[in-house]
Amino acid sequence: MARVLAVLSSGHKDEANNYETGWWAEELFAPLELLEKAGHTVEIASPLGGKPVLDEVSLLKDYDPEGKYKNLYESGRADNTMKLTDVDATAYDALLIVGGHGAMYDLAEDKALHNVITDIHTNKGIIAAECHGPAPLIWAKKADGTSLIEGKKVTGYPDEIEPEGLLDILPFSLEQELSKTADYDKGSLEKKAHAVWADEQIVTSRDPFSSELMGEELVKALK
């Protein structure tokens, strides 16, 4: 069975714009449940370690109508994360970068995360990223120093469904930055879930509603 490392944003607070964000509940818990049901082990890390900040919006009825992810969050499953700087990447078969707007702030250019990505990729492991989680892939490198995703098909949260006004305060547009390097593919927005494989090691998904699909893709790939 495989060992999977899930990485969460530690959270970000923008007092000037009265905005606080972090990681997205479904994007951790939906894949985690499927992976553990398949017999795999999932461990969790974040830049600061400890209990990372959840984006509370992800627990609203619109996104968690049955309270399933709220219950998992309140169980404490993600309360005690490892620091990214303490992670031994050689111990893992796959990396799952969980989205939520927090990933745009503290995960995107995190050097420790970039090192983990490079090491797992070099060891033939899988690199998976959800929603805003592909942000670090913009800067991630292969062991030879070249871009991890240059010219490859990837997806991620598209500009046209970002909340009104949020692009004005985000550090960058995920869609626009991915498009500079990779072959960005948002898929059809009429289709609820969308995930793409760049190659046999790299998979990305578009939005929170693609979280279960991401879990299914990882379970298949890790068989």
Structural domain boundaries in the chain: 3-221
Strand 183-184 and strand 153-154: the pairing is parallel
Identify the CATH class of 3-221: alpha beta
How does pLDDT run along the chain (223 residues), one tens digit per residue? 999 999 999 999 999 999 999 999 999 999 999 999 999 999 999 999 999 999 999 999 999 999 999 999 999 999 999 999 999 999 999 999 999 999 999 999 999 999 999 999 999 999 999 999 999 999 999 999 999 999 999 999 999 999 999 999 999 999 999 999 999 999 999 999 999 999 999 999 999 999 999 999 999 999 8
Q: Dump pLDDT digits (tens) for 128-147.
A: 999 999 999 999 999 999 99
**Could you tell me if 30 and 121 are in contact, meaning their C-beta atoms sit under 8 angstroms apart?**
no
Sign (positive/negative) of CA torsion 198, 33, 29, 213?
A: positive
Distances (CA, A) of 184 to 151, 168, 206: 9, 21, 10
What DSSP line would sit under 123-176, residue for residue? TT-EEEEETTTTGGGGT-B-TTSSBSSTT-EE----GGGSPTTGGGTSSS-HHH
